[in-house]
């Protein structure tokens, strides 16, 4: 059994204070609880709507504010999507780590360093380990297209798709 109250409370009263008042009350007094009677002085007509539930057997006090729960859900989903979109950051080694104590004249030029780090044809034809959900074939690294929503496709498949549809084929997130 439990006591439940859904009511609007004054905006200037912290939820932790309401929780403390109720927790103190349930420790001292046995059930059933008249939540409205306990918190009557904090109720307001134009306040924040809060649901309060007190479980009689365990004497647990649960307070749920609807606007907070939807906000928490939005933030959680946004953080998850942003996390999926983040590519691992590769740290560049310091010049000393790369060349030791070599003098500046002994170090390679920037052009030589960029030439060493370019993608070679053998690497670009390697499999990315992903499957295109449009054509259902493996995607090579050189053909890989990653959308904002973190779904993978062949570059040419998603280009053809985007001529007809303006959203992701898997999750329907807008492409623009």
Q: Is the pLDDT of residue 73 over 80?
A: no
Please state, in angstroms and as integers, the Cα–Cα distance from residue 42 to each residue in 20, 35, 51, 170, 172, following that order.
13, 11, 14, 48, 45
- 50 forms beta bridges with 7, 65
Structure-model confidence comparison of residues 127 and 160, the more confident one? 160
Domain residue extents for the chain? 2-67, 122-176
Tell me the mean pLDDT in the region 70-91.
61
Q: What is the pLDDT of residue 97?
A: 61
CA distance 52 to 55: 10
Tokens of 83: 């996390």
Mean pLDDT estimate for the chain = 78
Q: What is the per-residue DSSP string for 29-93?
A: SPSP--HHHHSGGGB-TTSEEEEEEEETTT--EEEEEHHHHHHHHHHHHHHHHHHHHPPPPPPPP
Residues 6+ apart with CB under 8 A from 106: 99
Tell me the mean pLDDT in the region 152-162.
88
Tell me the mean pLDDT in the region 104-127.
58
11 — pLDDT class (breaks 50, 70, 90):
confident
β-strands 2-9, 138-140: how paired?
Answer: unpaired
Q: Is the pLDDT of residue 89 over 50?
A: no
> Whats the size of the chain, residue-wise?
176
Q: Does domain 122-176 have CATH number 3.30.40.10?
A: yes
DSSP letter assigned to residue 109: P
pTM above 0.85, yes or no: no
């Amino acid at each position: 059994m439990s006591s439940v109250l859904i009511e609007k409370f004054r905006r200037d009263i912290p939820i932790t204070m309401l929780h403390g008042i109720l927790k103190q009350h349930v420790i001292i007094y046995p059930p059933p609880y008249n939540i409205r009677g306990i918190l009557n002085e904090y109720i307001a007509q134009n306040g924040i709507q809060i649901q309060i539930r007190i479980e009689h057997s365990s004497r647990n006090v649960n307070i749920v504010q609807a606007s907070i729960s939807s906000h928490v859900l939005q933030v959680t989903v946004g953080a998850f999507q942003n996390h999926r979109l983040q590519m691992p950051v590769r740290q560049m080694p310091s010049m000393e780590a790369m060349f030791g104590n070599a003098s500046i004249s002994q170090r390679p030029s920037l052009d030589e360093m960029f030439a060493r780090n370019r993608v070679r044809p053998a690497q670009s034809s390697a499999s990315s380990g992903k499957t295109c959900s449009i054509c259902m074939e493996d995607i090579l690294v050189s053909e890989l297209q990653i959308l904002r929503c973190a779904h993978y496709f062949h570059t040419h498949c998603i280009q053809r798709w985007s001529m007809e549809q303006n959203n992701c084929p898997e999750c329907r997130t807008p492409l623009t």
